[in-house]
Amino acid sequence: MLEMLQQLDVRLFQWINTGLANPVFDVLLPWCREKWFWAPVYWFIAAFSLINYGKKGWIIILGLVLAAGVADFTSSTLIKKNVQRLRPCNDPQRVEQIILRVPCGSGYSFTSSHAANHFAAAVFMIGVFGRFRKWIKPMALSWAASIAISQVYVGVHYPGDVSAGALLGILLGWGVYLAMRKWLPEPLV
């Protein structure tokens, strides 16, 4: 069963990495995974929170950073170092079949920290703002998904890595939101 899932993961990786190759994705998707590309979004969220919610805005920012930080620590330190799955671009059996669009990196692949961090942030924002601003949910999930799929397209993660990272991020982002909601005397927004 595990071997069958591995083969499916590799086939899906090949389809995304080489089968979807085109000049637009070749330019856009490497940028989608860069933290500085999204800096305006991060600044907007911070400014929006502070302008609209004052002191509570700082708590929202703290929760967002906490959600992403816990996801990053869990993915990078606890899971990756114990699972030690090679990145597709570091796998000697696969390296010739991959279109590598960014430097490979030396770390491990499972789970994708990019996916975990951004899904944690997205789900935390959905928890905080989703009841009042219905557009947040599709926008936040699309944002996190674009970062996750970019990781596969550029050749540094398997689809299973980003799927597990996304699930981890969803659970941790929602957990941080629920914990903050429970411990704070009044609603965040």
Per domain, the residue ranges of the chain are 2-183
Q: What own/partner pairs with CB < 8 Å and gap ≥ 24 does 51-54 have? A: 52/189, 53/188, 53/189
Confidence of residue 55 (pLDDT cuts 50, 70, 90): confident
**Confidence (pLDDT) at 149:** 96
**Confidence (pLDDT) at 185:** 64
Query: Which CATH number applies to 2-183?
Result: 1.10.606.20
Decide if pLDDT at 68 tops 80. yes
The distance in angstroms from the start CA to the end CA of the chain is: 46
